[in-house]
């Protein structure tokens, strides 16, 4: 057995035995293409440290990131010349058609720490946010599905809420759909559900970092997407206003 298989076998065996592990997490993101994530688990009796990176990309978070990128983002973000429009051109066309302006011409992708994303982002915005219209749809022949459609939603954010009298701010935003699937798996009694719950935060962190690195390493998708990782529930259990989270990021991007 070669060294790689031995390492992967040891890591998989440690997970399957579901021992008492204490998470030790360090996550760093740089603009280069290297994956700087370090997610480790330590036995309480100071046995050897296990890292998800030992799985050499076989972990759930890395798999979700690649699937999301190649199965969706790489199809909707870049322009392919005359055959399909990219996210920037679609936003500009929306501005021209509806006589509005967007402060940021990117797709905002929300990565909540719980993994849960509501069907409509309005549900987690304290009435600060509402769905407006959709950008132009994208049609692709994909895995036997002829003319499969993809589209992105435009949201209006009212700083201070709908009754504040403030002009709306337009954004293209959505949650990272693989995380919702991951969340739903944990809610069912599958063989892997318990270990996914135990490693939930580490898996989501790995997904976040890997997706960032893949997006930035490809010229076609570099700087077309803004990932927002956030804790979606306060310590008292109340929901965080996701509209405020998005507005804070927009402020950071436009004032630096």
Query: At a CB cut-off of 8 Å and minimum separation 6, what does 105 contact?
Result: 87, 88, 91, 92
Tokens coding 92: 């500009």
What pLDDT score does 80 carry?
A: 76
* pLDDT number for residue 226: 98
pLDDT of residue 153: 97
| Cα(145)–Cα(141) distance, integer angstroms | 6
Can you give the pLDDT of all 256 residues of the chain as single tens digits? 444 444 344 444 444 444 343 333 333 454 343 444 434 444 444 545 556 666 655 689 999 999 999 999 999 999 876 678 999 999 999 999 999 999 999 999 999 999 999 999 999 999 999 999 999 988 777 777 787 788 899 999 999 999 899 999 999 999 999 999 998 888 888 878 888 888 889 999 999 999 999 999 999 999 999 999 999 999 999 999 999 999 999 999 999 7
DSSP 239: B
Domain 56-255 has CATH 3.40.50.12100: yes
Token pair for residue 141?
Answer: 């022949």
Element (H, E) at 186: helix 177-186
Output the pLDDT for position 56.
Answer: 58
The CB density around residue 199, as the number of other CB atoms within 10 Å, is: 22
């Amino acid at each position: 057995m070669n060294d790689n298989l031995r390492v992967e076998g040891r890591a998989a065996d440690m997970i399957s035995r579901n021992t008492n592990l204490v998470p030790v997490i360090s996550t760093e993101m740089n603009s280069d293409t290297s994956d700087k994530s370090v997610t480790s688990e330590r036995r309480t009796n100071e046995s050897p440290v296990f890292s998800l990176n030992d799985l050499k990309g076989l972990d759930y978070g890395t798999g979700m990131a690649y699937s999301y990128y190649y199965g969706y983002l790489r199809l909707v973000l870049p322009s392919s010349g005359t055959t399909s429009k990219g996210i920037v051109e679609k936003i500009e066309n929306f501005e021209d058609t509806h006589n509005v302006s967007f402060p940021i011409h990117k797709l905002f992708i929300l990565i909540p720490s719980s993994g849960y994303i509501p069907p409509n982002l309005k549900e987690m915005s304290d009435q600060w946010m509402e769905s407006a219209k959709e950008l132009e749809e994208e049609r692709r022949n994909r895995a036997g599905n002829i003319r499969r459609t993809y589209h992105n939603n435009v949201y209006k954010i009212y700083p201070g809420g709908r009754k504040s009298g403030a002009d709306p701010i337009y954004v293209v935003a959505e949650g990272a759909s693989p995380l919702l699937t991951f969340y739903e798996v944990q809610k069912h009694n599958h063989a892997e559900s318990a270990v996914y719950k135990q490693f939930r935060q580490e898996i989501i962190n790995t997904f976040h970092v890997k997706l960032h690195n893949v997006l930035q390493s490809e010229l076609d998708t570099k700087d077309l997407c803004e990932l927002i990782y956030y804790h979606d529930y306060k310590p008292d259990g109340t929901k965080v206003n996701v509209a405020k989270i998005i507005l804070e990021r927009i402020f950071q991007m436009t004032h630096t």
